[in-house]
Structure 1
Amino acid sequence: MPEARRTDVVLLLVALVWGSSYLTAKSAAEAAPVLVVLFLRYLLSALAGIPLVFAATSRPRPRWTREEIRLGVILGVSQAAVLVLEMYGVAHTSAANAGLLISLTLVITPLLDRTGHGRLPPRFFLAAGLCVLAVGLLTSGHGLDAPGIGDLLILAAAVVRAAHVALVGRLTTGRALRPLQLTAVQTSVGSMLFLAPAAADLRVLEGAGAATWLQLAYLALFCSLFAFLAQTWAVQRSSASRASLLLGTEPVWAVAVGLALGGEHLTVSTAFGALLMVTGTYWGQVIERSHRTRKEGNALCPTTTHTAV
């Protein structure tokens, strides 16, 4: 499989896992406060990721370099900011508003991305706009409510998520950084950030059943450890703009999981929205890929100016 296709597949798997996280997180949040869920999600991820670092790193190579720790702390803080804004935002707004506003990440990311070989052509933004329209259709079954505090939190989450994706690309591209080490640092940072706020409510877990712990384990191992690791690995080999478009298929997977496991019903608008999302994502991929290839070709073959003698 070509490198570009392999990267696309990994990003789509991340989108699938994150799409499935909505149903899981909703169930977990019914059994424990939001901050407790976030703390345990990070803690379990760190407890799984740190031993992997020790197992995968042989001496004399260091377990972590100073640069990996420094950048992991930065990315850990930005990722934690995204998750806390999303969780509280969804709790105070409708799914329709949340889905529509968070999709603005697709438009914001290219504006912040500085690793994608210059300004993207206008057609890219048309593709991103098509994805925004698709999310609106996917969530239109519940209607749009009046803007409120939850909408503002989701809008802030969209901006921070776009900044995080762009930051991953900007800080990791061209550097000898190991995704596993970066991910372990990010999850450790998240654990420390949410420990104090969640400490007072941790006792509610005494009555938690096996289903709740399985949900927390899924959020930690797949939606955090695997997803953060895969996202960092893929962005290093692609661009933040392209990664954002592929990760933008997340609502499609959320609908699929809801239909298969959540007992939801497919409407005409959600089916058409899913079709538009796939179309917009693929179109944006083609535009971004051809733009990047053309820029790389121009860099390899610069135009020379001939002076008459």
Structure 2
Amino acid sequence: MTFASPVRRLLPVSDLLLFVVAMVWGSSYGVVKNALGFYPVLALIALRFGITFVLLSVNLRHLRRVDLKTLMGVLTCGLLLLAIFLAETFGVMLTRAANAAFLISLCVVMTPLVEWAMLRRKPGATEWLAVAVSLGGAWLLAGDGAFSFNPGDALILVAAVLRALSVCVTKRVMRASPLPALTVTAVQAGVVASGSALLAFFFVPSQWQPLPSFAGHGAFWGSVMYLVIACTLFAFFAQNYAIGRSSPTRVSLLMGSEPAFGALFASVWLGEHVSATGWIGGGLIVLASLMATVPWRGWFAARSGLANRST
């Protein structure tokens, strides 16, 4: 028996996938920033999720065997995701990145409350402790507690509430229906793509611009493909898969490490400065994820058992 075997039992695949998703989404900020240099916000969202929808459309066949209640639940998941993207994107345009990083991390605090109210599951003491550690880390990462509220902050706060609500609603839908995670992801992508396209068409027609050509715009199309394949196809499938197999609070804590990975990516790839306090805050966020995810008693028991068998 190898050490990897108990590790795989103690760390479910869904948890490992969410860590990877947090890393991928942490890198997405710089990629989106690069793509927005070529194409407007709403049009980019419609393009990103439109391509995703086309690639996943074959999975829509599973909708034929669901009832109207389930279908409405899946569509609600898509509308929540659309609202999250709109609130986050326009919120970031109107506030400091530090404010946004702290406020979006508040979804980690709100998720246990929403889960308690919606799903009647009371989070455990370890989860509450992890939430507190994550909140403290986000506060440090946001810039030594410097904070001033503005309209952009209000939008980011709305996005944080919607994230918490979205995880719990998706959990309820996945628990009550036999739909594969890819089918739910396909519906979400279709709703976000069509919703952002309709908003641009009716309210901001200047957002519709000709697509950059493939020749001479490799950086843009490379960014789009990364956003589609890694940040949307893989990330939303992994998130929906994990939600169906874990609690919303656990999922939220794992996803809450996203700002820490975003700071690391910005420092290494974009050359942005992160203070020592920021690194401590990012470390606390990752620690909070580990606190909520790894069953430490089982971990040490597994290691102790292996040590005894090796002697």
1:157 aligns to what? 159
* Distance (Å, rounded) in 2 between the aligned partners of 1:228 and 1:182: 9
SS class of match (1:263):
coil
Q: Partner letter of residue 137 of structure 2?
A: A
- Tell whether the 8 Å contact from 1:116 to 1:239 is kept in structure 2 after alignment: no
- Tell whether the 8 Å contact from 1:44 to 1:217 is kept in structure 2 after alignment: no
Give, in angstroms, the shift of residue 174 of structure 1: 5.0
SS class of match (1:140):
coil
Task: Count the aligned residue pairs.
Answer: 282
1:48 aligns to what? 55
* Distance (Å, rounded) in 1 between the aligned partners of 2:119 and 2:277: 33
2:3 aligns to what? none
* 1:48–1:266 CA distance, 2 compared to 1 (3 A): same
Per-residue CA deviations over 1:133-154 (Å, capped at 9, x if unaligned) read 111222317x735211000000
2:122 aligns to what? 119
1:130 aligns to what? 133
- Tell whether the 8 Å contact from 2:123 to 2:249 is kept in structure 1 after alignment: no
* Distance (Å, rounded) in 1 between the aligned partners of 2:158 and 2:66: 31
Residue among 6, 20, 24 paired with 1:17? 24
- Tell whether the 8 Å contact from 2:83 to 2:162 is kept in structure 1 after alignment: yes
Give, in angstroms, the shift of residue 271 of structure 1: 1.7
Residue among 236, 240, 243 paired with 2:248? 240
Give, in angstroms, the shift of residue 103 of structure 1: 0.9
* Distance (Å, rounded) in 1 between the aligned partners of 2:37 and 2:253: 31
* Distance (Å, rounded) in 1 between the aligned partners of 2:125 and 2:134: 15
Per-residue CA deviations over 1:226-254 (Å, capped at 9, x if unaligned) read 11111111111111010000000101111
Give, in angstroms, the shift of residue 204 of structure 1: 4.5
* Distance (Å, rounded) in 2 between the aligned partners of 1:289 and 1:187: 40
Give, in angstroms, the shift of residue 126 of structure 1: 2.9
- 1:7 and 2:29 matched: no
User: Displaced runs of 4+ in structure 1, greater than 4 A?
Assistant: 114-117, 286-290
Give, in angstroms, the shift of residue 217 of structure 1: 2.0
1:167 aligns to what? 169
Give, in angstroms, the shift of residue 172 of structure 1: 1.0
2:66 aligns to what? 66
- Tell whether the 8 Å contact from 1:42 to 1:220 is kept in structure 2 after alignment: yes
Residue among 18, 32, 45 paired with 1:38? 45
64-73 vs 29-38, which moves further: 64-73
Q: Partner letter of residue 278 of structure 1?
A: V
274-283 vs 236-245, which moves further: 274-283
Task: Give 1:135-146 correspondences, 5 Å limit.
Answer: 135-140=138-143, 144-146=146-148
Residue among 175, 180, 183 paired with 2:182? 180
Q: Partner letter of residue 189 of structure 2?
A: T
Give, in angstroms, the shift of residue 81 of structure 1: 0.7
Give, in angstroms, the shift of residue 112 of structure 1: 0.9
2:92 aligns to what? 90
Residue among 104, 108, 124 paired with 1:106? 108
SS class of match (1:120):
coil
Unaligned runs of 5+ in 2: 1-7, 299-311
- 1:223 and 2:223 matched: no
* 1:197–1:171 CA distance, 2 compared to 1 (3 A): same
**TM-score between the two structures when normalised by the length of structure 2:** 0.82
- 1:203 and 2:206 matched: no
* Distance (Å, rounded) in 2 between the aligned partners of 1:118 and 1:192: 34
Give, in angstroms, the shift of residue 3 of structure 1: 7.8
Note the aligned Cα RMSD (angstroms).
2.6
**TM-score between the two structures when normalised by the length of structure 1:** 0.83
- Tell whether the 8 Å contact from 2:139 to 2:281 is kept in structure 1 after alignment: yes
